[in-house]
Structure 1
Amino acid sequence: MTMKKKNKNPSMPPLPTDHKTLLKLLREARHPLAPDDLVEALGLHRRKRGEVEDMLKDLVAEGKLIQLGRAYAPLERVNLITGKVQVQRSGVAFLIPDDPRRKDVFLGQDTAGAWNGDRVAVAITREHATRNHEGRVVRIVERGRNVLTVRVMRSAGQDSLLCRPTDPRLDFAILVEGVDPGLGLAKGDIALAAPGEQVDQALWAGTILSRLGPESEAQVQEALVKANHGVPTTFPDDALAEAAALPKVPGQADFAKREDLRTLPFVTIDGKTARDFDDAIYVERKGKGYVLWVAIADVAHYVPLGSALDREAYERANSYYFPSSVEPMFPQALSNGLCSLNPGVPRLSMAVRLDFSDRGLPGEVRVMNAVILSHIRLTYSRARDVCVDKLPEARAELLAEVKTNVGGAAANAAGEAVLTMLDTAEELARKMRQRRIERGSLDFDLPEGEVQFDADGQPKSVLPKVRHFAHQLIEEFMIAANEAVSEYLQAHALPCMYRVHAAPDQEKLETLYTLLERLDGEAAPKKARPGRFSDEDFTPQALGRLLASVAGTEREFLVHRLVLRSMKQAKYQPDNEGHYGLASESYAHFTSPIRRYADLIVHRLLKRALGDLSLPVPGFKKLAEMGQHLSARERVSQEAERECHKRYVCMVLRGQEGREFAGVVTGLMDYGFWVELTEVLSEGFIRLSTMLDDYYGYIKEREMLVGQRTGRVIRAGQAVRVKLLGAHLDRLEIDLELVLDRKGAPGTGGEGGETTTHRPRATRREQHAMEDRRRADQARQKRQGAGKSSGAKSPGGRNAIGQKVGGKKSGGPKSGGKRGGR
């Protein structure tokens, strides 16, 4: 009898078509499973592997699974982190986690369709002990922008246009159809568009909402920046209605239970274009010491907690300032009217009275609800003329204006009182500043640019903002008031919305100290203790000594930049961790409630401390949530202001291609370096591929680029002359080229294009270090079996960094040279 041959591949249960079995297997597994694992678990033939993979991809697309390398896992089993996508100008993206305790997560260039500013969920795919963890976007939780500003590129057919987002970090096109011809859109116009479905990897559908205007107009640039960053430009109707219902001036009933300080000669000192005057000051002598009064607009009196005005102010978080416009936190009826401490009219305020010793050390503090009358509104420049330079004509003009504002029999005495008060204020502020610097407070007085406009409202130039002691006078008094109210709330056992500035990144500071030691040897700043770094090397006092040691030297720019890069961003939170930059143990924002919501929170807590039990005390968790929101909106404001400034600089420079500028090297990479143009106070970039005099290598640990043939060095802080190649509004980039002198060295200096010879080269210490590095590299290559160099031998000597020179092929590609930027 012939036996039936056994089937080696018996049929198995059919492949499930509803995906439930796959999900069940993955959820029950103790680790992610690869397709082969699933094929085996289901008892399928390996030929079915492709069908399993297709089903797995379907589940990934549905957001139920995540692919981790070759394996898959249920989304709920994976540790997901939520946060916002932040795309660098290089195109590399990071996740900024919602949880501020977590470090940023590296996403690379694949963001799975997420845009800059989108809130996403990310799965950690690789963890690192010292570097940022790596992750992958698994779900877009919320689009950061539902409306995009776009630039019209060209027509795409009947009533259709091809556009591109104005944000250079959004690298795709938008095809809009059914465009209303009445909008009059033309090539180069800026419009608002609502993105629709994704058509292709680099193409989206969209709908035009409105036309902003030609890209060349300044107002259009500010409008697109506001739209790009979600800056609100209109107030809700209910908020406007509440503002309209408020009185034009405070009434007598408002003065009840307030200290009447109207006879004290308070003054406001602000910028020339300011319209919202938050703060007023008054200083007097008291025995051998001083009394400082700081009066702040009492916004909390007019804006009830939970009102429409309050809700809108919280969402905005702060006012947004641009070169030619302001988007205020409150409607102008409050910000420029009822709450603003305008001269000659009574205003409600929260006042702080601070006693100071003759040396400028703080003493007793009182906080009160008050009513004041500002005697005069001064600009910073006018305050300088009056109380710093003490110009006779400026002081006479002030006397006349105070008489007009105050009026009556007391007018003459009031004018003299204001002059005396300002002289006393200048005296006290200098002592306070000295005490603050002594305790370790850091002072980075870096120049800022101010855009100048022509008669048509177009940007014509960028000038440095002039800073002098009148600015510092107000800063000292505001810092003192902020510290005082923070400590006052602590003393009354009440929570506070602290302004916290954490200690800097110690690793970056160690790099700075090491760099200076390599550059300057024995002349470099010394560690607190021989050998390893200690906590004493990273205190505010230690950094203050470091900054003082390089003041006025060629290292000043480099050290200031690297110290700033090590600093962490200040933020709002209910947990007091101190303010590192100010060397302050307790600090809060109190002095600007018209333009910062954090200050309004502090005002309400102060009123509670003064006995207003109708105001609730927010819990720690609530304050923490509010602090995160306010800090995030502050960053939005800063980013919007920086982008707007860069756009105006590009507009100023357009048409000046070929012109030479003086500049300072601000940062280096292996493919080029940034130069800050001192005339417009904005950075441009020089690519090494444009430098044909040599092949340059980047020495990261020394923050310098070195020419392989000449040994020429380019360092951060080095003065150079550059030529403008182009200013690009579409990319927000300024392209530059290094100007060389007749001998081929980088030029620096003069006005009107004058170029002086400056030939920075590697120091002897650097030559030895480079020689040691070269030998170490050769030894490592021999160990790895790299063999001999393919280049021809050079009969010449060695250059300044210890490399052979002199042969025809020396420094060229065939002898190991590598062209920068390629």
Structure 2
Amino acid sequence: MSGRSEVAALPSSAALRAFLLGGVTPVGLSDILRAFDRPIRDKARLKAILHTMALDGSLLDLPAGRLKTSIGLPETARARITHIRPDGTPCGILADDPTATPVVLNTRAPDLHLPLPGDLVLARLRPACGARRREARAERVLARTGESLAFSRALGENGAPVERLWACNPQIAGTFALATPEQHALPEPGEVVLATLRSMPDGTLAVDTPTPYGRADTAGMASALSLLTHAIPTRFSAAAEQEAARGAAQAAALHNQPAPADRHDLRALPLVTLDDETAQDYDDAIWAEPTDTGFHLVIAIADVSHYVPAGSALDEEARLRGTSVYLPDQTIPMLPLDLSANACSLLPGQDRLCLFADILITHDGHMQDGTIRRGIMRSAARLSYRDAQSALDGKALPPAHPIHTLPATLLQTLMAASSALNNDATKRNAMRLDEDAWVVTFHPDGQPAAFLPRERLATHDLVASFMIAANTLAARIAYKNRLAVPFRVHPAPTATQPRPAARYSAVAGRHNGLGLPLYTHFTSPIRRYADLLVHRAISAWCMEQNPRQEGTPSVACAPPWEQDHALVSHLNFTERRAGKSVQDCQNRLAAAFLVPDIGQNVNIHATTTTRHGLCVRLTKTGTPSLLPWSAFPDCARMNDDSPYGGIAARYTPLIQNGALPVAVLLATCPARGVSVLASHTHAR
């Protein structure tokens, strides 16, 4: 033993991490030294190694409780930046925390760039002090959304441009001066520049090296700014495009060929797709027939997993995006068009690989039996929601319409089965979430022409009920067979979270919104990476054994299995990012659309109150805005449902939530998507 290097003999960081990931039993310093046959005197040096590993993020993915708290290591976690305060403080949420605990990054490591919204940061947490919000120090950026930001001239409270800039990303609050005003001039109102934020000697942030980007009111700029500010990828790698082209060739070669030996042939079944008129990616096709006890349903879903294997270039691109993004004037697909609009899309008359849910339900909509199999199918017709609704309402469609090629009673049977499923949903107290969605129409020059509430038809509910049934069956199969899939959970409301959002989870849990003990996403693998992951797991299971019906299990006895918590966190982030980018784009389009109304009274709908003002929606566009309390200088008292009621009550008027007051539109900023409002009785 003499001559041995004691330092070199200690396990490396990689060896320690592999050891810690390989078990779930709590271990301390003595346990680790014993496992590596090291003497007890190495405790201090081992703790120093673990301390360094904690601060560089090497211990983030350990099973919960794997290291004993008595070791005294710093508490670190991934933090996803959601917004920047006016004083420049980054704020966010703990990315791997199912409750999405808020975090404020009061300090950051020396020479660390300012974390921006969307960035994933390694945060060193301060001890919890009872409050739900945690304070932390940013140690390093784990994933960067980008460096360049878009800026435009800021507007004052009266709607007039001021001699400062604000970020086009509404998640970055405050205004900024130019870092070098002697070298760069402020952009003209309506102009957008690309720049970076630079820390000044006095601790403030300033806009550095601005370069022109274009005018905010030009056609296509609203989408371009939304994609830029949220760092959404818009181009695929050459390798991914090549893989997609090969997939398209494989799909074309399937046409009119015998069914693969490991797949059920559904091509004689008149499966039909129902989508919006503008849709290009058709994930699902449905069919139903009556039985003595209820209905027999077949729900075929495009087998994207066949063309996007794990670890491929396509898989990397799809994982990075997480979801397709449907902006008002363009779609950013999760997969290249060779797949999303061709090989994986259930085009009418084309042979396509699929996974299909084969389900029996009662007349009351209860699922009696069901399984999922691998198949090959051929869509009999592509119908729009509107045309299918017209047919159900007895309206005549043109003789050449594809609906006339379908069995005469198919649509009525589909609707009857949907009614049964919806009756069952009513019995379990499923919430009906009416979509507050708006459709933007455009002039030929690309400028917004109108904002219209999205029409909700019975055929929308028809398809939704079938998809919920297939997703529920997929969740049951995954749970019973311990498949590592992301489940979809919706927590019950609490005092701190009265309106919790549905999210992906590595652990099975209840979906309270739908009233279901288990749920997952299975029916949209062309546009959601979560569904693709579920397809891979279930497709592999299908090939291993003959599926059989699983009963609904009790979530309380969920078996443990390995899950990728970081991936689940990423899926939740990309879902939120897509939703925010769409809303931001609509806000920018609304700001451009409302320019002719500047100086006029506009109708608004009060939604809620905050310490800063009254949150409203413009009834003409359906987009949100803020009526600041400074707009009501002579009023006091109000019905405030924010946590800052004591502050707001001293400055705010008595306006009930849900009221329809009138405001004056002082100005709009298409670059940031802002509409500046004032009370019509106090507008200056």
Which residue in the other structure is 2:401 paired with? 401
Work out the CA distance in 2 between the residues paired with 1:104 and 1:447.
27
Which residue in the other structure is 1:585 paired with? 517
Which residue identity lines up with residue 491 of structure 1 in the other structure? K
Alignment of 1:311 onto 2:316: yes
Work out the CA distance in 1 between the residues paired with 2:627 and 2:182.
43
User: Secondary structure in 2 aligned to 1:466?
Assistant: coil
Say whether the 8 Å CA contact 1:196–1:205 is kept in structure 2. Answer: yes
Which whole-Å deviations, capped at 9, do the CAs of 1:168-188 have from their partners, x for residues lacking one?
4164456589999xxxx9875
Say whether the 8 Å CA contact 1:95–1:107 is kept in structure 2. Answer: yes
Alignment of 1:477 onto 2:477: no
Written as runs of structure 1 = structure 2, the 5 A alignment for 1:211-230 is 212-230=213-231
User: Secondary structure in 2 aligned to 1:86?
Assistant: strand
Work out the CA distance in 1 between the residues paired with 2:394 and 2:122.
60
Which whole-Å deviations, capped at 9, do the CAs of 1:396-433 have from their partners, x for residues lacking one?
x3x63338xxxxxxxx7x43x0x311011111211211
Q: Whose relative contact order is higher, 1 or 2, with alpha carbons under 8 Å and at least 6 apart? A: 2
Written as runs of structure 1 = structure 2, the 5 A alignment for 1:68-83 is 78-83=74-79
Say whether the 8 Å CA contact 1:150–1:166 is kept in structure 2. Answer: yes
Alignment of 1:368 onto 2:373: yes
1:495 positional shift: 3.4
Alignment of 1:348 onto 2:353: yes
Which residue in the other structure is 1:107 paired with? 104
Which residue in the other structure is 2:148 paired with? 148
Aligned mate of 2:531, from 596, 599, 604 = 599
Say whether the 8 Å CA contact 1:352–1:365 is kept in structure 2. Answer: yes
Between the two proteins, what is the percent identity of the paired residues? Answer: 28
Which residue identity lines up with residue 594 of structure 1 in the other structure? I
Alignment of 1:336 onto 2:268: no
User: Secondary structure in 1 aligned to 2:286?
Assistant: strand
Which residue in the other structure is 1:455 paired with? 444
Worse-superposed segment, 187-196 or 334-343: 187-196
User: Secondary structure in 1 aligned to 2:655?
Assistant: strand
Which residue in the other structure is 2:575 paired with? 634
Aligned mate of 1:468, from 429, 434, 457 = 457
Which whole-Å deviations, capped at 9, do the CAs of 1:438-479 have from their partners, x for residues lacking one?
101111214211111111011122111111211100000000
Work out the CA distance in 2 between the residues paired with 1:119 and 1:493.
30
Which residue in the other structure is 2:232 paired with? 231
Work out the CA distance in 2 between the residues paired with 1:625 and 1:608.
23
Which residue in the other structure is 2:621 paired with? 680
1:260 positional shift: 1.6
In 2 relative to 1, CA 241–106 (structure 1 residues): closer, same or farther, beyond 3 Å? closer
Work out the CA distance in 2 between the residues paired with 1:77 and 1:278.
48
Written as runs of structure 1 = structure 2, the 5 A alignment for 1:260-299 is 260-299=265-304
Work out the CA distance in 2 between the residues paired with 1:134 and 1:624.
20
Aligned mate of 2:667, from 726, 729, 748 = 726
Which residue in the other structure is 1:653 paired with? 594
Which residue identity lines up with residue 338 of structure 1 in the other structure? A
Work out the CA distance in 1 between the residues paired with 2:119 and 2:201.
19
In 2 relative to 1, CA 377–330 (structure 1 residues): closer, same or farther, beyond 3 Å? same
Aligned mate of 2:417, from 428, 436, 439 = 428
Which whole-Å deviations, capped at 9, do the CAs of 1:250-286 have from their partners, x for residues lacking one?
4226643322212221111111211000001111112
In 2 relative to 1, CA 178–315 (structure 1 residues): closer, same or farther, beyond 3 Å? farther
Which whole-Å deviations, capped at 9, do the CAs of 1:13-53 have from their partners, x for residues lacking one?
xxxxxxxxxxxxxxxxxxxxxxxxxxxxxxxxxxxxxxxxx
Written as runs of structure 1 = structure 2, the 5 A alignment for 1:33-44 is none
Say whether the 8 Å CA contact 1:261–1:371 is kept in structure 2. Answer: yes
Work out the CA distance in 2 between the residues paired with 1:233 and 1:178.
36
Work out the CA distance in 2 between the residues paired with 1:305 and 1:708.
55
Work out the CA distance in 2 between the residues paired with 1:313 and 1:176.
41
The gaps in structure 2 that reach 5 residues or longer are 1-54, 57-71, 155-163, 546-559
Report the RMSD for the aligned CA atoms in angstroms: 3.7
1:138 positional shift: 4.6
Alignment of 1:116 onto 2:117: yes
Which whole-Å deviations, capped at 9, do the CAs of 1:101-125 have from their partners, x for residues lacking one?
5653453887784433344444555
The gaps in structure 1 that reach 5 residues or longer are 1-62, 65-75, 155-161, 404-411, 509-564, 614-618, 745-822
Larger helix share, 1 or 2: 1
Worse-superposed segment, 270-279 or 305-314: 305-314
Work out the CA distance in 1 between the residues paired with 2:221 and 2:337.
22
Which residue identity lines up with residue 688 of structure 1 in the other structure? W
Work out the CA distance in 2 between the residues paired with 1:737 and 1:701.
21
Q: Give the TM-score of the pair, scaled to structure 2.
A: 0.76
Which residue identity lines up with residue 144 of structure 2 in the other structure? G
Work out the CA distance in 2 between the residues paired with 1:152 and 1:702.
32
User: Secondary structure in 2 aligned to 1:382?
Assistant: helix
In 2 relative to 1, CA 268–640 (structure 1 residues): closer, same or farther, beyond 3 Å? same
Aligned mate of 2:636, from 679, 689, 695 = 695
In 2 relative to 1, CA 80–370 (structure 1 residues): closer, same or farther, beyond 3 Å? closer
1:623 positional shift: 3.2
Alignment of 1:203 onto 2:206: yes
Say whether the 8 Å CA contact 1:297–1:341 is kept in structure 2. Answer: yes
Say whether the 8 Å CA contact 1:662–1:721 is kept in structure 2. Answer: yes
Work out the CA distance in 1 between the residues paired with 2:266 and 2:477.
21
User: Secondary structure in 2 aligned to 1:734?
Assistant: strand
Which residue identity lines up with residue 240 of structure 1 in the other structure? E
Which residue identity lines up with residue 573 of structure 1 in the other structure? S
In 2 relative to 1, CA 108–234 (structure 1 residues): closer, same or farther, beyond 3 Å? closer
1:302 positional shift: 1.8
1:202 positional shift: 2.4
Work out the CA distance in 2 between the residues paired with 1:628 and 1:737.
40
Which residue in the other structure is 2:82 paired with? 86
Say whether the 8 Å CA contact 2:101–2:134 is kept in structure 1. Answer: no
In 2 relative to 1, CA 677–188 (structure 1 residues): closer, same or farther, beyond 3 Å? closer
Say whether the 8 Å CA contact 1:352–1:366 is kept in structure 2. Answer: yes
In 2 relative to 1, CA 142–497 (structure 1 residues): closer, same or farther, beyond 3 Å? closer
Which whole-Å deviations, capped at 9, do the CAs of 1:67-107 have from their partners, x for residues lacking one?
xxxxxxxxx97544441232267767533113315653453
Which residue identity lines up with residue 390 of structure 1 in the other structure? G
Work out the CA distance in 2 between the residues paired with 1:701 and 1:219.
37
Work out the CA distance in 1 between the residues paired with 2:354 and 2:506.
24
Written as runs of structure 1 = structure 2, the 5 A alignment for 1:6-25 is none
Say whether the 8 Å CA contact 2:356–2:372 is kept in structure 1. Answer: yes
User: Secondary structure in 1 aligned to 2:386?
Assistant: helix
Say whether the 8 Å CA contact 2:602–2:618 is kept in structure 1. Answer: yes
Alignment of 1:190 onto 2:192: yes
Q: Give the TM-score of the pair, scaled to structure 1.
A: 0.64
Which whole-Å deviations, capped at 9, do the CAs of 1:595-623 have from their partners, x for residues lacking one?
1111111111112221259xxxxx94443
Which whole-Å deviations, capped at 9, do the CAs of 1:118-158 have from their partners, x for residues lacking one?
444445556432x324424353435733332324669xxxx
1:571 positional shift: 2.2
Which residue in the other structure is 1:542 paired with? none
Which residue identity lines up with residue 358 of structure 1 in the other structure? H
Work out the CA distance in 2 between the residues paired with 1:673 and 1:497.
37
Which whole-Å deviations, capped at 9, do the CAs of 1:175-210 have from their partners, x for residues lacking one?
589999xxxx987543544667867632254475xx
User: Secondary structure in 1 aligned to 2:543?
Assistant: coil
Say whether the 8 Å CA contact 1:190–1:213 is kept in structure 2. Answer: yes
Which of the two has higher C-alpha Rg?
1
Work out the CA distance in 2 between the residues paired with 1:481 and 1:498.
14
Say whether the 8 Å CA contact 2:265–2:376 is kept in structure 1. Answer: yes
Which residue in the other structure is 2:159 paired with? none
Work out the CA distance in 1 between the residues paired with 2:649 and 2:379.
65
Which residue identity lines up with residue 467 of structure 1 in the other structure? R
